[in-house]
Amino acid sequence: MATSLAPSPQIATHRVEREPHGWTSWVTTTDHKRIGILYLVTCFVFFMVGGVEALLMRSQLAVPENTLINAEHYNQLVTMHGTTMIFLFVIPVWAGFANYMVPLMIGARDMAFPRLNALSYWLFVAGGVVFYSSVFWNPPDAGWFSYTPLSNGTYSPTAGQDTWIYLIHLTGLASAIGAINIVVTIATMRAPGMGWGRLPLFCWGVLTQAIMLIVAIPVIAAAVTMLLTDRHFHSCYFDPRCGGSPLLWQHLFWFFGHPEVYIMILPGFGVISEVLPVFARKPIFGYRAIAASTVGIAFLSVLVWAHHMFTAPIPLVVLAFFMISSMAIAVPTGVKVINWVATLWRGSILFRTPLYFACGFLVLFTLGGLSGVMLAIFPIDWQLHGSYFVVAHFHFVLVAGAVSAVMSALYYWFPKMTGRMLSESLGKLSFWFQFVGFLVTFGIQHSLGLSGMPRRVYTYNADTGWGTDNLISTIGAFILATGVLLTVANVVRSLKRGVPAGPDPWKANTLEWFSTSPPPAHNFDVIPKVTSVEPMKDLRAQIAQRSRDDGALRTARVRAPVSVAGAVQSTTPGGGEHV
């Protein structure tokens, strides 16, 4: 008698571990999704703290000769705000999204090194705790880039500056470890059929960011270690009295600092590249051009550091070199913007909150890019260096760029993470508050800068004529803060009362939507075979085709993950990888 081979169990288990629960399950977790959520929650806490610091500064500057905050505290606020937003919010928030989404988007069951992943998160928390512990004693006050000699033992003798150094060490180590984990995960754990040409663009952004982190972090780690030994062991790296050079600090810091700008923005570019095609109901325009421009930006970003030092004693020819290389970055960035606009062009646009934030990003980031090109011209930079024009420029790039992308990502992926939709009306209200608040706060700062107001001043005289512009900017900051609070309220409300999302509420393109919302611990019952850059679209088409074949046209829409998985198993023979 002919019989077919029946599958036999490969693994026998004698004892089943009890599922951990409660807070210890969060503290000890190595699940990429939980670590991602831990990152995101921690980052948003720091974001709120950094935001309060910004509001305090804006309140102080709202009227001339204000006495709300004294000069010392203002300097500390400037340092805490900048450091918090850069090292404790924007960089790690992408680690949070990457942790949660990358394994799901590439069809993996976890990160390559789950324990290392947990270590990375806890090092980041340790950095934040060490840094904020200085609030109880003497917070650092040498600015977020801690230029020497201001940050050396003579001018910053307190331990606050040391906590800044330890923050850089700890969060740098966390970022480097996380980056290695991301690179290995994407390189080795992609779903069957997902070649490099089918990698989601968010993953391209995160991968490029990770490689840049691996290149840039050692430089800043070395620089802060040199500063630490200068401060405590009388070495002379940055002290000109014994042969050191303060300019060396600037070179080292900005060799890290400018790639850092792209480290903060490249995953945001990836988010925009994911959100636009979903809500335009069109494939992304120029997938390869967008991926190539991502790596092009990464390459150029290590050749432009000295444009932060145009007023330092550097030969004119070298300034010209850095001017040209800085302006060259506008080329790949322009390629991206054009491709994004082309993606929206003639799309069947679905106006949802993630798209609002993505479009806000497009407008504001482009404006920030334009003022960046202006500042890349060194004679213009000589006039505007250290003024509020520069503050306005980098807030257009970072707040409008990174934060808009973060908001877009939050509204886009919140249903996947929690299984519940965020309120659309609250989301759109939050967007308009943030968009208008942002333009009012930072748009007017261009004018302040052109009027000559220097940055990092805790007050100004009434006869400077800067009072009205500063008041407008402060009002804008509170409008912006209201917008952020609306999103926080939306998140809190939706966690309990949000509409159930289902596995694929947006009819999106990438694999994370193939799993349930929220996904199970193992992510997928079946890992589907990827056949294009939009695997979910292919799967829906297969299911629709199968439904038509069965004469059941009314079930052409994707219903539930189990049925999708079942359909995939039967429609892609040999294609799926089963648990």
Partner 1 sequence: MSSGAPGWGAWSTDPGVIVAIVFTAAAYGACYRRAHRRTGRRYISQLLTFTTGLGLLTLALLSPLDAIGDRWLLSAHMLQHVLLADIAPALLVLGVGPPLLAHGLSPELLRALSPRARLGRLLRSRWFAPVALGLWAATQWGWSIPVVFDAAAGNPWLHAVEHLSLLGSGLLLWMVVVDPLPGQGRRAVWSRLGYLGASRAAAAVVCLPLTWLDRTLYSRYADAPRGYGISGLTDQHIAGAGMCLIEFLVFGVAFISVFLDLLGREEQGTRLKERASESNRDEPAREPVNIS
Q: Can you give the binding site for partner 1, defined by CB under 8 A?
A: 1-5, 193, 195-198, 288-289, 291-292, 295-296, 299-300, 303, 315-318, 320-321, 324-325, 328, 531, 573-574
Say how far apart CA 250 and CA 129 lie, in whole Å.
27
Q: Minimal distance in Å, beta carbon 314 to partner 1? A: 8
Answer yes or no: are the C-beta atoms of 401 and 365 closer than 8 Å.
Answer: yes
Structure-block tokens of residue 118: 């947990």
Looking at the Cβ atoms of 208 and 517, the one nearer to partner 1 is 208
Q: Minimal distance in Å, beta carbon 567 to partner 1? A: 17
Looking at the Cβ atoms of 150 and 215, the one nearer to partner 1 is 215
Cα 446 from chain centroid? 25
| C-alpha dihedral, 178 to 181 to 187 to 190, nearest 10° | -100
Say how far apart CA 229 and CA 96 lie, in whole Å.
33
Q: Minimal distance in Å, beta carbon 96 to partner 1? A: 28
Compute the Cα dihedral for 30, 108, 404, 349 and give only its sign: negative
Q: Minimal distance in Å, beta carbon 249 to partner 1? A: 16
Looking at the Cβ atoms of 126 and 211, the one nearer to partner 1 is 211
Looking at the Cβ atoms of 9 and 313, the one nearer to partner 1 is 313
Say how far apart CA 416 and CA 459 lie, in whole Å.
46
Looking at the Cβ atoms of 445 and 509, the one nearer to partner 1 is 509
Structure-block tokens of residue 524: 């997928």
Partners of 387 in beta bridges: 454
Q: Which of 6, 85, 83, 89 is nearest to 42 (CA)?
A: 89
Looking at the Cβ atoms of 163 and 209, the one nearer to partner 1 is 209
Say how far apart CA 432 and CA 190 lie, in whole Å.
38
Q: Minimal distance in Å, beta carbon 324 to partner 1? A: 7
Q: Which residue has the tokens 């996904």?
A: 519
Q: Minimal distance in Å, beta carbon 171 to partner 1? A: 29
Q: Minimal distance in Å, beta carbon 417 to partner 1? A: 30
Q: Minimal distance in Å, beta carbon 198 to partner 1? A: 7
Q: Which of 85, 172, 6, 108 is nearest to 511 (CA)?
A: 108
Looking at the Cβ atoms of 51 and 259, the one nearer to partner 1 is 259
Looking at the Cβ atoms of 516 and 531, the one nearer to partner 1 is 531
Report the first-to-last Cα separation within the chain, whole angstroms.
31
Looking at the Cβ atoms of 245 and 459, the one nearer to partner 1 is 245
Looking at the Cβ atoms of 447 and 569, the one nearer to partner 1 is 569
Q: Which residue has the tokens 């490029």?
A: 208
Instruction: Give alpha helix (H) positions in 159-234.
Output: 159-188, 201-232
Q: Minimal distance in Å, beta carbon 1 to partner 1? A: 5
Number of H helices, E strands in the chain: 20, 2
Cα 54 from chain centroid? 19
Say how far apart CA 189 and CA 74 lie, in whole Å.
48
| Residues near 400 by beta carbon (within 8 Å), at least 6 away in sequence | 360, 361, 364, 365, 367, 368, 438, 442
Q: Minimal distance in Å, beta carbon 274 to partner 1? A: 18
Looking at the Cβ atoms of 122 and 321, the one nearer to partner 1 is 321
Letter for the amino acid at 434? Q
499: Cα within 13 Å, side-chain hemisphere: 7
* 507 CB neighbour count, 10 Å cutoff: 15
Q: Minimal distance in Å, beta carbon 320 to partner 1? A: 7
